[in-house]
Amino acid sequence: MSPAGLYLSVPFCRAKCSYCNFASDAFGPARMDAYVDRLCEEIAQAPAKASGMGATLPRDVDSVYFGGGTPSLLSAVHFQRIFEALQAVFSLQTDVELTLECAPGQLADDTLAELLRHGLNRVSLGVQSFVDQESRAVGRFHTKDVCLAEIARLRSAGVQEINVDLIAGLPHQTHESWRISLEQAAAADVPHVSVYMLEVDEESRLGRELIAGGVRYHAHHVPDDGLVAEMYLEACEFLGNNGIPQYEISNFARPGHASRHNLKYWKRLPYLGLGLDAHSMLGGWRFQNTDDLNAYLEGKAAPDPVVVTPHEALEEEVFLGLRLNEGILLPEDGPVVPVLQQLVREGLMQLQGERIALTPKGRLLSNDVFTELLGAGAFSL
Ligand code: SF4
């Protein structure tokens, strides 16, 4: 049985960024204490929950990922309790990849020390931009100098696996300023960079303002879609030319530094999500927790688990596999084959020996490609 990955969601932030569409918010210390209580309870109940649905929960764990939110805001005592709960249920492998998402400048010394004691070896920094005007405009608290100091501090504490998150499409961003962020990420010599394009939807203040055509939250300084697309393609080229090639639609890594945990999502390996709005895939089942904090704290029932049918499994294999630059094995037959061939002719996909993968243009338009595959009934069994 493959070892599992564990995702632990921590939905607390110092303040809500204008573009944020996650289930996260700013709450006081009492809420954090109650949340950690509930999280520890959920960890203890995980084996019974899995066996209740007929799924096997691996005891061996080779990746633990604290995401959010800003999990670096939890205290040393919180992490001590969470690790005690984890160790009572799971066996963390000696080479476990242990990642913490962290807002630059928001990780206390004693919290870092406690995490290092438990094997912290990877930190994902929510930089988003190395240009201070852009960070300020979306409500981030850090500056470029704080980000660089955080990278140096983590390295001297022994954490070498550092990811820098960047967003293309922030207010005030230009070709030139985007280049500054890319160059700074490469100059900082981090082994991993994630690049996201700004999402415009009704789940964020900035998204709502953009949809409404307003000017609050610097909405009138958001670059247009064409420029954002160019920035994304520039990131792919620039990072690749600087030794950080792309391996997934949004992720770039120096050789040997891809995220083990995130690869589980794209390769359909087992993972258990714990905490608010966390998703899981275990032994043919998918399930998720509620995204309502009060309901989660009260331990209210989450939506029922669903069995992944063979049809859905095939769809997932193709859609998730195509997110990776290595693509998928070219299917030998079935209705998917002519659709893939058409996408190759349109320059959205490319053949690589026995495999097929998205082209750079296909990665940019991946949602359209996936919609075309679905619309063509490409996965009828
Ligand atoms: S730090 Fe991250 S999770 Fe928190 S509000 Fe900002 S974008 Fe959202």
Percent above pLDDT 90 for the chain: 83
Q: Is the pLDDT of residue 340 over 90?
A: no
Q: Ligand 1 centroid vs 224 CA: distance in angstroms? A: 23
Structure tokens at 343: 């996408």
Query: In a mutational test of the pocket of ligand 1, which residue from 9, 10, 19, 20 has the highest number of ligand atoms less than 8 Å from its CB?
Result: 20
Among 284, 155, 178, 180, residue whose Cα is nearest residue 231? 178
Q: Is the pLDDT of residue 135 over 90?
A: yes
Structure tokens at 69: 């939110």
Cα 41 to its chain centre, rounded Å, is 25
Enclosing H/E stretch for 92: strand 91-102
Lowest mean pLDDT among 28-42, 147-161, 192-206, 304-318: 304-318
Residue with the smallest CA separation from ligand 1 atom 5 is: 16
| C-alpha distance from residue 188 to each of 98, 182, 266, 288 (Å) | 21, 10, 28, 37
Q: Is the pLDDT of residue 378 over 70?
A: no
Among 62, 68, 70, residue whose Cα is nearest residue 8? 68
3-state class (DSSP) for residue 5: strand
Q: What is the pLDDT of residue 380?
A: 57
What is the SS3 string spanning 100-156?
A: EEECCCCCCHHHHHHHHHCCCCEEEEEEECCCHHHHHHCCCCCCHHHHHHHHHHHHH
Rounded to whole angstroms, the Cα distance separating 323 from 267 reads 10
Residues 6+ apart with CB under 8 A from 318: 328, 336, 373, 378, 379
Query: In a mutational test of the pocket of ligand 1, which residue from 12, 19, 22 has the highest number of ligand atoms less than 8 Å from its CB?
Result: 22
| C-alpha distance from residue 300 to each of 7, 244, 306 (Å) | 20, 44, 18
- Domains, the chain, in order of start with CATH, read 4-267 (3.20.20.70), 309-381 (1.10.10.920)
Query: In a mutational test of the pocket of ligand 1, which residue from 14, 21, 70, 203 has the highest number of ligand atoms less than 8 Å from its CB?
Result: 70
Residue with the smallest CA separation from ligand 1 atom 8 is: 20
pLDDT digits (tens, 9 = 90+) for 227-273: 999 999 999 999 999 999 999 999 999 999 999 999 999 999 999 99
Q: Which atom of ligand 1 is nearest to the CA of 103?
A: 1
Q: Ligand 1 centroid vs 126 CA: distance in angstroms? A: 8
Q: Ligand 1 centroid vs 332 CA: distance in angstroms? A: 43
The band of 303, judged by pLDDT with boundaries at 50, 70 and 90, is confident
Phi-psi region of 327 (alpha: psi -120 to 50; beta: other; left: phi over 0): left
Taking each helix axis as running N to C, give the angle between helix 175-187 and helix 225-241, from 0 to 180 degrees, rounded to the nearest 10: 30
Q: Which atom of ligand 1 is nearest to the CA of 11?
A: 3
Residue with the smallest CA separation from ligand 1 atom 6 is: 17
Residue with the smallest CA separation from ligand 1 atom 2 is: 69
Enumerate residues lining ligand 1, CB below 6 A.
Answer: 13, 16-17, 20, 22, 24, 68-70, 103, 126
Q: Ligand 1 centroid vs 125 CA: distance in angstroms? A: 11
Computed over every residue of the chain, the mean pLDDT equals 94
Structure tokens at 287: 């399930």
Q: What is the pLDDT of residue 257?
A: 98
Number of separate helices (H) and strands (E) present in the chain: 14, 15
The dihedrals phi and psi of 163, each to the nearest 5 degrees, come to: -105, 145
Q: Ligand 1 centroid vs 284 CA: distance in angstroms? A: 31
Enclosing H/E stretch for 320: helix 310-323
Cis peptide before 275 (omega within 30 of 0): no
Q: Ligand 1 centroid vs 203 CA: distance in angstroms? A: 13
